[in-house]
Amino acid sequence: MEDRSEQDDQTPVAKSQDRTEGETDWQRRKRLAAVFGDVLPEITSDERGERDGRSDEWYRSQRPPHHGG
């Protein structure tokens, strides 16, 4: 059986490493983005409705054969 006292001792340490004291959510995201970069955009081009002018037919014709048809 696990010793709950050891687990409780580790929880505050993990939380303090994740967020500095007094740091807001946007400040934390900005700090992490400066270190790791933005992995994913907040809004994708699909959500914005942007297209590059190519039709769905063009994309279907470019699909590799191993992706089914």
The token pair that represents 40 in the structure block? 């994913």
- Which residue type is seen at 32? L
pLDDT in tens, 3-13: 555 555 554 44
Q: Considering the entire predicted model, what is its pTM?
A: 0.30
Q: What is the pLDDT of residue 31?
A: 87
More confident residue, 14 or 36: 36
Where residue 20 falls among pLDDT bands split at 50, 70, 90?
confident
In the chain, the N- to C-terminal Cα span, in Å, equals: 53
